[in-house]
A and B are shown apart, each in its own frame.
Chain A
Amino acid sequence: MAEHVDARGLSCPQPVILAHQKMKELGKGMLEVMVDTDTSRENVSRLARNKGWEVVETKKTEDSGYVLILKRD
């Protein structure tokens, strides 16, 4: 079961801060980040790549948000 961050409805840059905190806390492994805007999707994806995490999958949700699956070995 991957750790997850629910950043839906939060203003920029909170999704990035929450995802970043979780990445630092985990160090490696799988992380799911839920966002609800394209801006947050892009920002969290960019952060992940900068911090050495791979964006494995970006799933669109029913409420037109996204779940980003991040991974670091």
Chain B
Amino acid sequence: MSYLKSFFGTRWGIILVGAFIGVFAALLQKWGNPPNMGVCVACFERDIAGALGLHRVDVVQYIRSEVIGFVFGSLISAYIFKEFRPRVGSAPIVRFILGFFAMIGALVFLGCPWRVLLRLAGGDGNAILGLSGLVVGVAVGVLFLKKGYSLGRNQRTFTSVGWLLPLIMASLLAFLIIAPLMGDGGKSGPIFFSEKGPGSMHAPLVISLIIGLAVGFLAQRSRFCTMGAIRDIILVRNFHLASGVFALLFAAFVTNIILGQFKAGFEGQPIAHNNHIWNFLGMSLAGLSFALAGGCPGRQLFMAGEGDGDAAMFVIGMITGAGFSHNFSLASSPAGPGLYGPTAVIIGLLVCLFIGFTMREKVE
């Protein structure tokens, strides 16, 4: 057990985890998930928001059991290895706002950092702009961190607090399975499930859930984080997390080639647009938000599974942001950015700068 505990903290451990995510993300596409979207935390949380009726775009509504699996996989791992640590109180409202704008930025690009990698691995050249934006956003976040940016200290809290997000996820699983009619006095949804478009494309529930659990377990052990990978290279010239990210990219690329899912180009890529400026700036906003909040969307789910109530606030901020993104015409579609998406990205960047410049302290 102690070997297993330490193995995932090694270079080979994180490479194995990245490769596992890459292979199974590509396979999930083969088994029914949308193209270049085997796993996308932003897209999947957006689909969950839609399924709950927080937005009414009927092509992106589904309760994605991968997300539920991520949280429970992490929770199980945290309990087995005695790392479940309920904590809360480190600027929760700020984390909510950062999650909110991270989602808006991600939906202007159309993907979280994991999907940036999966789109690249599928041959989507537009992801290069997304990746560049992500790196710039994280780099700006690093500048703030170097200048003393801090969300403040958290505090230990009751175990039940750490269980709240997992319990929300358990409720979502119940909604997914039972799909009760509770709207309109019990006559219609929510829960809404897309009948066409990406929301209608999904691998079988059990497969998605099992892969989600496995990824959650492994990622909790290895601390896999795409934003952290970029940040650590810039901040301390450390490539530990980055080796996992490269492994994900390479493994997904090879799997896509084998499965015939690779198609290189900028035009006509699945669930993507080719407006370079807003692909870049959307992901810059997302990257800056992730850096200021201390983790990419996947990592926030894994930390929430370890009992981190502040990470849970980021997750809820993202789901809320998804509702706003579609209700306020901010999210992009394959036709290009939403009508007010660019304005929202600029507002989001200004909010992040406001947070970054004002939340500084000398901790010691």
Q: Which of B118-126, B150-158, B178-186, B342-350 binds A?
A: B150-158
Cβ contact within 8 Å between A13 and B153? no
Q: Which of B27-35, B82-90, B261-269, B278-286 binds A?
A: B82-90
Known: A6-B364, A11-B90. Is A16-B235 also a contact (CB below 8 A)?
yes
Contact mask for chain A residues 12-23; partner B; CB cutoff 8 A; 1 contact, 0 none: 111011101000
CB distance from A16 to the nearest CB of B (A): 7
Whose C-beta in chain B lies nearest to the C-beta of A10? B153
Question: In the complex, how many residues of chain A place their beta carbon closer than 8 angstroms to a beta carbon of chain B?
Answer: 25
CB distance from B96 to the nearest CB of A (A): 15
Say yes or no for A59: interface residue by CB 8 A criterion. no
Contact mask for chain A residues 21-57; partner B; CB cutoff 8 A; 1 contact, 0 none: 0000000000000001111001100110010000000
Cβ contact within 8 Å between B83 and A38? yes
Cβ contact within 8 Å between A13 and B9? no
Determine the distance from Cα of A60 to Cα of B154 in the docked complex, in whole angstroms: 19
Contact mask for chain B residues 295-319; partner A; CB cutoff 8 A; 1 contact, 0 none: 1000000000000001000000000
Q: Which residues of B contact A63 (CB under 8 A)?
A: 156
Cβ contact within 8 Å between B363 and A10? yes
Whose C-beta in chain B lies nearest to the C-beta of A17? B145
Determine the distance from Cα of A43 to Cα of B299 in the docked complex, in whole angstroms: 15
Partner of A14 from B81, B237, B363 at Cβ < 8 Å: B363
Determine the distance from Cα of A63 to Cα of B153 in the docked complex, in whole angstroms: 15
Whose C-beta in chain A lies nearest to the C-beta of B225? A12
Whose C-beta in chain A lies nearest to the C-beta of B310? A11
Given contacts A11-B293, A13-B294, A17-B146, 6 further A-B contacts (CB under 8 A): A9-B87, A13-B235, A14-B145, A18-B363, A42-B9, A50-B237
Interface residues of A (CB under 8 A from B): 5-14, 16-18, 20, 36-39, 42-43, 46-47, 50, 63-64
What 6 pairs between A and B have smallest CB-CB spacing?
A: A9-B153, A11-B294, A9-B154, A12-B294, A38-B83, A42-B9
